[in-house]
């Protein structure tokens, strides 16, 4: 154990040195900045896996395997661009032997042997309380979610009420809402770990039918807790925590995706109300939601940019189905249309149009003190959402790994079980190492976010885990051969579901260029 852990530490130290040097003198242009930001996320995860690696031989092997894979990726991205990275071609020469050891197919086969025996990406080492939480939600997901997940996906159905009601009874929607307002968060370094564990288990059963139900309460609850008045907190948060009121988020616009500061949906004061006009898109769960968190421009001066935005909680009835329209006395209207998507079905993502929809003054988070603070509250809330999305990605990857192992054991190719082929085993080993690294990083990021910062870590783990989920589900699907392309096999659902993860809650490129890279450049 100590030998491989020492190798992993040496590789991580070399990787960190490259990232630190490149961050101090970043090259010009987005291409290098994107690669630098992306590799910083992978290196940060490899570093978090070192503590995990100290727990045993299996853990140390996973740490070395992942560090070696990151080194190979970094070397490939730097090749031909060394001057723009500010390093020379020998930057990783000192750890070449360690990288070779981690990439040795014979070594990776040994790692795969243990993974295939357990269907796990290494031991979890959860404390007793979180182990019980994991068990409870895994059982719920197995009993209520997994049996209907494929049907919901194939037929683009609504999430059954019994799943939502069951999760509400288990306190799922109040995991990050302060206990003083009916939730379960009581502060402390580990207060977000339960959310990470629960999200992974639900996403393991279905991203669209369960794993994403927590995201919107995370975003809206955080925004209200940080920016709302005391009366608003007491009015909205207990209902969200109990699941009595479901939530959706309306931020993105058709012409302004991740460029939130340029949104055009406006809110104009009219007596004691605000009149909301504009179109939002990708409003997941907007039909079933009772509360919509809407970011709107309250300062008509476009030069104010993000400083002219405010956040509203817009109340509406819960409506099932794919289309709906609501009207108010005086002519105000709101209508929604579900967007057909490749995957991520069950939640339904809507385009929502507002035409002079009347919102009481009390719907502005923070009341007059909240004017112009919407962008900042939204960004703070997104840290929780990005962390939660990383946990969703880990759940999807874990499910894909299990399906890949099961199929490889059952299927024979050229007279031998698929599981006995070296290429199958090396793939499974690398999948497990990636999952273990993302899981360890998600826990570390949860503690950073709970400490009041964590914007960088949340963006990094979200970026890394979501890209990893695409690769892991792709490899798992490939191991299934033609059956992996058939909807009757769950791996096809996981593959298309994983594709959305790098797009929402901060697109991969936007996180790299607008969040991660600028923070790396700061001294």
CA distance 85 to 74: 11
CA atoms within 13 A on the CB side of 142: 6
Residue 397 · residue 438 · CB < 8 Å: yes
**Main-chain dihedrals φ then ψ at residue 404, nearest 5 degrees:** -65, -45
What string of H, E and C letters represents the secondary structure of 195-210?
HHHHHHHHHHHCHHHH
DSSP codes, 96-115: HHHHHHHH-HHHHHHHHHHH
In angstroms, how far is the first alpha carbon of the chain from the final one? 36
Tokens standing for 467?
């890209």
Residue 315, strand partner residues? 291
Tokens standing for 433?
């190492």
The catalytically annotated residue of 230, 323, 505, 509 is 505
C-alpha 115, offset from chain centre: 24
CA distances from 15 to 136, 288, 434 (A): 39, 46, 17
> How many residues are listed for the chain in this entry?
523
Residue 59 · residue 122 · CB < 8 Å: yes
What string of H, E and C letters represents the secondary structure of 233-265?
HHHHHHHHHHCCCCEEEECCECCECCCHHHCCC
Contacts of residue 176, defined as CB under 8 A and 6 or more positions apart, other chains included, come to 183, 184, 185, 191, 192, 195, 217, 218, 221, 222, 384
Closest CA to 408 of 426, 424, 423: 424
**Whether residue 253 lies in the annotated active site:** no
Contacts of residue 401, defined as CB under 8 A and 6 or more positions apart, other chains included, come to 115, 119, 121, 428, 431, 432, 435, 472, 476
- Which residues are marked as active site? 505
């Amino acid at each position: 154990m100590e030998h491989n852990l020492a190798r992993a530490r040496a590789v991580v130290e070399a990787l960190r040195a490259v990232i630190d040097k490149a961050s101090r003198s970043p090259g010009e242009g987005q291409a290098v900045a994107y690669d630098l930001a992306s590799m910083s996320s992978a290196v940060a995860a490899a570093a978090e896996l070192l503590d995990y690696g100290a727990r045993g031989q299996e853990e140390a092997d996973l740490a070395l395997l992942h560090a070696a894979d990151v080194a190979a990726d970094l070397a490939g991205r730097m090749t031909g661009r060394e001057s723009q990275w500010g390093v020379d071609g020998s930057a990783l020469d000192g750890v070449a032997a360690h990288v070779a050891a981690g990439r040795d197919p014979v070594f990776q086969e040994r790692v795969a042997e243990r993974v295939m025996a357990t269907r796990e990406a290494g031991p979890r080492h959860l404390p007793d309380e979180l182990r019980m939480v994991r068990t409870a939600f895994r059982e719920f997901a197995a009993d209520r979610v997994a049996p209907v997940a494929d049907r919901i996906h194939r037929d683009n159905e609504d999430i059954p009420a019994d799943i939502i009601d069951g999760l509400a009874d288990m306190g799922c929607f109040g995991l990050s809402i302060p206990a003083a307002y009916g939730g379960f968060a009581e502060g402390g370094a580990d207060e977000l770990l339960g959310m990470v564990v629960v999200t992974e288990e639900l996403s393991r059963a279905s991203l669209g039918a369960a794993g994403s139900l927590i995201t919107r309460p995370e975003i809206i609850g955080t925004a209200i807790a940080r920016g709302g008045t005391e009366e608003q907190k007491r009015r909205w948060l207990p209902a969200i925590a109990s699941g009595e009121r479901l939530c959706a988020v309306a931020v993105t616009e058709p012409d302004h995706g991740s460029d939130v500061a340029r949104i055009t949906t406006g809110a104009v004061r009219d007596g004691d109300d605000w009149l909301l006009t504009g179109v939002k898109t990708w409003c997941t769960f907007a039909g079933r939601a009772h509360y919509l968190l809407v970011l709107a421009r309250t300062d008509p001066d476009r030069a104010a940019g993000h400083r002219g935005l405010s956040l509203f909680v817009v109340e509406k009835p819960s409506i099932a189905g794919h289309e709906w329209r609501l009207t108010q006395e005086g002519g105000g209207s709101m209508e929604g249309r579900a967007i057909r998507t490749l995957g991520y079905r069950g939640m339904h993502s809507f385009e929502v149009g507002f035409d002079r929809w009347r919102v009481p003054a009390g719907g502005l988070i923070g009341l007059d003190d909240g004017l112009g603070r919407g962008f900042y509250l939204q960004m703070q809330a997104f840290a929780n959402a990005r962390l939660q999305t990383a946990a969703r990605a880990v759940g999807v990857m874990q499910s894909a790994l299990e399906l890949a192992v099961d199929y490889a054991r059952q299927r024979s190719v050229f007279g031998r079980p698929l599981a006995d082929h070296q290429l199958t085993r090396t793939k499974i080993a690398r999948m497990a190492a990636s999952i273990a690294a993302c899981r360890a990083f998600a826990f570390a990021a949860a503690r950073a976010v709970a400490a009041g910062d964590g914007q960088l870590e949340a963006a990094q783990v979200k970026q890394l885990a979501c890209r990893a989920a695409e690769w892991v589900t792709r490899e798992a699907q490939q191991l299934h051969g033609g059956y992996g392309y058939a909807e009757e096999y769950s791996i096809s659902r996981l593959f298309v579901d994983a594709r959305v993860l790098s797009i929402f809650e901060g697109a991969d490129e936007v996180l790299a260029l607008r969040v991660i890279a600028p923070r790396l450049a700061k001294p």
